[in-house]
Amino acid sequence: MLQSTLIEAAQAGAAEILRYFHGEFRIDNKEGVNNLVTEADHASEKAILAVIRSAYPDHMILAEESGSTDRTDEFKWIVDPIDGTVNFAHGIPLNAVSIGIEKNGELIMGVVYNPHLKELFFAEKGKGAFLNDRRIQVSSETNAAKACLVTGFPYVYIDQPNGPLDVFARFVKKGVPVRRIGSAAIDLCWVAAGRFDGFYEHKLEPWDSAAGALMVTEAGGTITNHQGEAFTIYEHPVLASNGHIHDQLVGVLNNTHQL
């Protein structure tokens, strides 16, 4: 029932995404430049939460727009109603519902659904990762200099060494293709599916990475922080890869390895 409710919730949110897409809707701005939230974000989140609460009224929920409930159940649902809101607001069909589920602090299930491309990614702890019921796995690239990478940039830039632009420059100056498609959840799923060899970002929130992080590990990949240490969705930096190039990417991120 947990899996069916998860997928039903994602589909409910996605229906709201499609209902508003290319239509007229209110757009507001959160902290930072171009950190948008739309009427569709709220509608999607409302639809998702209704499904979850109907099936599991005692479960905790952490949602991007409405925050966290005060329940203390062993299960927590981590919800991003539209990951890639800027894309959505500009009519770009690279956005998705992302929902992860924790049990006692461990990610056990996740779904990322892009209804525009009709791509539903699903992962369950210990049971693999899937795209539309087809098992997926990470790529086999072993040389980071030949990898195809993807990244994102935070809305509020933090004055820090090895910041987003510094790291980006290290890759592109060596001719490494680094894409920026505007949805961390999709980025992580595309690493899991072998479309990208690696993904890094400096500042993500739990709802950005919860489902996608499980997708990567269940597809055979590796996910850590930028120092190569154990990853938690409650810290900002993330590095995900096929595993083969992970140490090389850690070195580039920390300016200790040259491509």
Catalytically annotated residue among 5, 38, 85, 151:
85
CB contact at 8 A, 242 and 138: yes
Given the residues 16, 41, 45, 64, the one annotated as active site: 64
Round to whole Å and give the CA distance between 187 and 137.
14
- Asked about 217 being catalytic, the answer comes back as no
Please pick, among 16, 41, 83, 102, the residue that the annotation labels catalytic: 83
64 is catalytic: yes
Q: Is 73 a catalytic residue?
A: no
Selecting among 17, 61, 82, 186, the annotated active-site residue is: 82
Percentages helix, strand, coil for the chain (3-state, rounded to 5) are 30, 25, 40
208 is catalytic: yes
> Which listed residue (80, 102, 124, 197) is catalytic?
80
| Residue 30 Cα to chain centre, angstroms | 19
Lookup: tokens for 242: 């096929």
Partners of 241 in the β-ladder:
198, 222
- Residue (of 206, 184, 187, 185) closest to 196 by Cα position: 187
232 is catalytic: no
**Catalytic (active site) residue 197:** no
Active-site annotation holder among 45, 187, 197, 208: 208
Q: What's the rounded Cα separation, in Å, for the pair 195 and 242?
A: 10
Catalytic positions: 64, 80, 82-83, 85, 208
